[in-house]
Amino acid sequence: MPDRALRYVRQVTLPGFGRDGQRRLDGARVLVIGAGGLGSAVLPSLAAAGVGVLGIVDDDVVEVTNLHRQLLHGPADVGRPKVESARSTLTALGAARVETHDARFTAETADAFLADYDLVVDGSDNYETRYLTNDVAARAGIPLVWGAVSQYAGHVGVVLPGDPDYRDLFPAPPDPAGVLTCEIGGVLPTVVAVIGATMATETIKVLTGIGTPLSGRITTYDALTARFREIPFTHDPERDRTSPAAPPTSEEDTMTDTSDSRELDVRELQDLVEDGRPVQLIDVREPWEAEIAAIDGSRLIPLGTLSEAAAGIDPSVPVVAYCHHGMRSQQAVEILRAAGVPARSLVGGIDAWSRIADPSVARY
């Protein structure tokens, strides 16, 4: 159709894109997990760019608190299934074809969902789904684009078949109790837009073959400093790659597993401190959090500035990174190890420290 050709002329004229790139988009089938914040940024961009088939998996309904960041939906959609609201919006944007799945993406349904698609985008922003999607995509041999947001920051990664994947970066999920959700910590809507747009860009790059996909690297964005950073990573040589690793089966397993030396629990840290052994405590929270509570003798280096500050940390003295519940400190460990600083994450963060090792520390 002439009007369809005219619609995409501005991207077809891009160097390296051309009609071949547009034909690849037209013939692509992409599954997006989640029609929430990240999905609201990814899906319209892919629909407008001309992706042939967009599949959406989500079993949630629209809530009023979603509307500030989930721009697929409007006030009239409150109470409506997100997949239905998303379909209406995408159809109005001229999406070629939208396939909706009002269901959860689970271990029982995942393989069947991915079987009909060329690429999967994880916009769920929860760890259980992220690890599951990583493992199923690896098993299916299809590319994965994922993103995550929290408060004022976020990051994006791509996994191409055979390349380092999410478990090489983060071997096991954190304790669910330590995950800072949007409900608890809040989220800046524009951060979701930036991360979602980056995810959509990476999807288009993989589908069309333009540029260099973000594989073996993650890009992080800190809205408070307006800085982007890149963190490279490789295959974990100690990982058993005969089959995708399974998430911990219980909270107890998550809290006590330190076999990969990336974590230590509060009792271990307490022993280090009481024995007077040298240790560098790195607080990777934000300054306002440190004002509420901090572990004595720790050094405040917010996560968003850690890459730059890593060069000033002595790698010969054991390093323990901590945050509120232990999620950000796991990211900090990977950043520090990539910079040549062996570090471990305090399981449960300062919250666990205040409950077990030092009850005098304020909890928040």
Give ranges for CATH 3.40.250.10 in the chain. 258-356
Side chain identity at 220, as an amino acid letter?
A: T
| Domain 2-232: which CATH number of 3.40.1260.10, 3.40.718.10, 3.40.50.1820, 3.40.50.720 | 3.40.50.720
Q: Token pair of 191, please? A: 């951060």
Report the sign of the C-alpha dihedral through residues 333, 335, 337, 339, in that order: negative
> Could you tell me the CATH superfamily of domain 258-356?
Rhodanese-like domain (3.40.250.10)
Judge whether 280 and 319 are in contact, CB under 8 Å. yes
Please indicate whether residue 323 is annotated as part of the active site: yes
Side chain identity at 261, as an amino acid letter?
A: S
**pLDDT tens for the 364 residues of the chain, in order:** 457 778 889 999 999 999 999 999 999 999 999 999 999 999 999 999 999 999 999 999 999 988 999 899 999 999 999 999 999 999 999 888 999 999 989 999 899 999 889 999 999 978 889 999 999 999 999 999 999 998 888 999 999 998 999 988 888 776 665 556 666 678 899 999 999 999 999 999 999 999 999 999 999 999 988 889 888 888 887 776 554 544 433 333 332 333 346 888 888 898 888 888 899 999 999 898 888 889 999 999 999 899 999 999 999 899 999 998 888 898 899 899 988 899 999 988 888 888 777 766 665 6
Pairing of β 319-322 and β 153-159: unpaired
pTM of the full structure = 0.66
Catalytic-labelled residue, pool 93, 140, 182, 339: 182
Q: Token pair of 121, please? A: 């985008």
Judge whether 61 and 85 are in contact, CB under 8 Å. no
Give the strand order in the sheet containing 319-322: 263-264, 343-346, 319-322, 280-283, 299-300
Catalytic-labelled residue, pool 153, 301, 323, 350: 323
Query: What single string gives the DSSP state of each residue in 270-293?
Result: HHHHHTT---EEEE-S-HHHHHH-
Side chain identity at 98, as an amino acid letter?
A: V
Judge whether 322 and 350 are in contact, CB under 8 Å. yes
Give ranges for CATH 3.40.50.720 in the chain. 2-232
